[in-house]
Structure 1
């Protein structure tokens, strides 16, 4: 038998621009302490730690978690590109659900530098080479533009070509993201922007302007996962459980079909989401609130359809009608998302978890989605990995 897994505590620190944060170890420890305090348990009760980061040396996880305590527990370092935080969450959930342990902590942090993402090594093949080669074959490669923007901008172009949508449809997502982030004290960008300002910003890679790209960010977040029996034994909050979770990686369609949407993970997203819906016995129309991986506006748009929040080819209407925000069909990225809350790679998945747990507890303040009962999380990393998690509020 498998254990029912509850999220007993979550914590995060305010996200900042590079250069304005504490060191990664301090950030990670502070987020972990916040999650422990939220759960109301002592670190001595935690049996395993899964710690995620992308830019850091081996055992950086220990350097962060040692700031919480030295209890001798296993510390597993996790690096899975932008899906790192959710991968740590996935591993912690597996450990608890299997019965191997009863309580785990998942922590994610990132101390980033300004500018576009770059690989750490130049003396060996990069893990993204096959993706870059595929992109070059499909749409060419621009030496002057950031590579990530070319991947996701290309996905946006492919969608525009097939469905004939307007370029400013993508920009509307940035406007929505800033409106949501204005209510979030943890977000790096809390000022609102107009559609005209988004469109007038410098072009990074058509159709994406600068305000349609997530910023390099520093930050940390954490979650305490435990079995329901452990939570009840220790008097912990059992209101939020993980109803289903799935993790996927690339298949042949990523490289063989000449579609930039698939190169950036559309099929991974759809496969993970469908697995989650099937396991939990719910439909996309049942979801109340979503935190999805909006590293670029183009990815948010195609992910609406990948997650089944709107049918294929209808994302523009979904956006223009306001079905992606308060008063619409499903509130997407109430935190402000990666575009406005920020994207410290290793922390992102756990920050999404924190937001959704607060939503299901009814503790999201001005961002609260009224009556939220089912919450969906989508975290994507090129290279590739996708984790989709469904949280349910228990009575």
Structure 2
């Protein structure tokens, strides 16, 4: 029987455009996020028994340097790199240590210091991790650059052609998320973009009518979570702030990723579907029991696709949720109250932990103007191509 796992402290920095804060290096980011999480948990770093630190762009052992600003305690520090799912992969590992009885208090921390512009590669003398995916995608849809918006834009086009959704639905999703971020002081963008603004913006992938406000930006920033066992929560009187992880799954690519010959599966929909299924089974809940969701909207079409992967609707009906207003305030779920990746920002290693922070605040009733009324169960979804999907469900202790 596995042990219960609780989030007892969360913290993050404001997400920023790369280079906007002069001299803001990752040790300063992670110190701020880590100290915020420890203060939220009302414990000292000396109580942490293991640390899992996620980042995509950095040298070996950058994770060690990231937590050394919190203290030199000799604890094991693990560096985690899993593309855009890095932060939630660190969260999964930190939770697994408690779930398996290996520790009573762990830290998951993520950060990124990014270069402006589209994502690039670091090493060009070896096969790229996404090469097999890209080759499979290029057989289905003409390759375009930059690759990331092409991949997700083309997945959205596939949904359009098969089920009758349109690029207009993606614009509506982006408008919703930008509207939500106006109330998030941690968001990179806090300006509302109207549907007209989004349509008129710079085109990024024309076949899908994917404009810049429908795409997540590169970002600098950090986020962290302190996790604890039931025994630790009791001994340190943390029940008032504890949020339980009631289900969690990390799923990597499955045979169907390449066998289905679908752009949507190649960008992770089948991984997400399987991870969500496992989480619902573990938690004994269904989508109808959830009130608030933070999901991986790296590009607006991926939010549309993910509605179906998470079981919010039947396959081919995601655009009907958009038309009905089912995924905003006043709808059946509030999806991405933080503004999501599109508007809050997307420092790869920090994204999953920022999602955790937002949902923890929501379940505590501490999300200020973003608060989702009656939030009792929350769902988190984070993917990284190449690849893994992490889904986590939470409820107050």
Category of TM-score, reference length = shorter chain: over 0.9
Separation of aligned partners in 2, 1:255 and 1:25: 39
Deviation at 1:224, TM superposition (A): 0.3
CA contact (8 A) 2:233 2:242 kept: no
| TM norm structure 1 | 0.98
Instruction: Report the equivalent of 1:155.
Output: 155
Instruction: Report the equivalent of 1:213.
Output: 215
Instruction: Report the equivalent of 1:224.
Output: 226
Deviation at 1:166, TM superposition (A): 2.3
CA contact (8 A) 2:52 2:107 kept: yes
> Deviation digits for residues 179-206 of structure 1, max 9, x if unmatched?
1000000000000011111111122113
| TM norm structure 2 | 0.97
**Greater mean alpha carbon deviation, residues 46-55 or residues 232-241:** 232-241
Separation of aligned partners in 1, 2:166 and 2:383: 25
Summarize the alignment of residues 186-335 of structure 1 with structure 2, pairs less than 5 Å apart.
186-205=186-205, 206-207=207-208, 208-237=210-239, 239-335=242-338
Instruction: Report the equivalent of 1:106.
Output: 108
2:107 is paired with a residue of what secondary structure? Answer: strand
The answer on 1:388 being equivalent to 2:386 is no
1:9 is paired with a residue of what secondary structure? Answer: strand
Identify if the C-alpha distance between structure 1 residues 239 and 104 changes in structure 2 by more than 3 Å, giving closer, same or farther: closer
Summarize the alignment of residues 20-169 of structure 1 with structure 2, pairs less than 5 Å apart.
20-21=20-21, 22-142=24-144, 145-169=145-169
1:316 is paired with a residue of what secondary structure? Answer: helix
Separation of aligned partners in 2, 1:63 and 1:20: 22
Gaps of at least 5 residues in structure 1 are none
RMSD (Å) for aligned C-alpha atoms = 0.9
CA contact (8 A) 2:297 2:342 kept: yes
CA contact (8 A) 2:11 2:36 kept: yes
The answer on 1:185 being equivalent to 2:188 is no
Separation of aligned partners in 1, 2:308 and 2:51: 34
Deviation at 1:236, TM superposition (A): 1.7
Deviation at 1:373, TM superposition (A): 0.6
CA contact (8 A) 2:245 2:394 kept: yes
**Greater mean alpha carbon deviation, residues 181-190 or residues 163-172:** 163-172
1:139 is paired with a residue of what secondary structure? Answer: coil
Deviation at 1:239, TM superposition (A): 3.5
Deviation at 1:372, TM superposition (A): 0.5
Count of residue pairs the alignment pairs up: 392
Separation of aligned partners in 1, 2:124 and 2:85: 23
Summarize the alignment of residues 337-348 of structure 1 with structure 2, pairs less than 5 Å apart.
337-348=340-351
Separation of aligned partners in 2, 1:263 and 1:234: 45
> Deviation digits for residues 119-173 of structure 1, max 9, x if unmatched?
111111111110110011111212xx21011110110010000012222111001
Separation of aligned partners in 2, 1:77 and 1:239: 26
Stretches of 4+ aligned residues off by more than 4 angstroms: none
Separation of aligned partners in 2, 1:256 and 1:234: 50
Separation of aligned partners in 2, 1:233 and 1:161: 56
Deviation at 1:349, TM superposition (A): 0.2
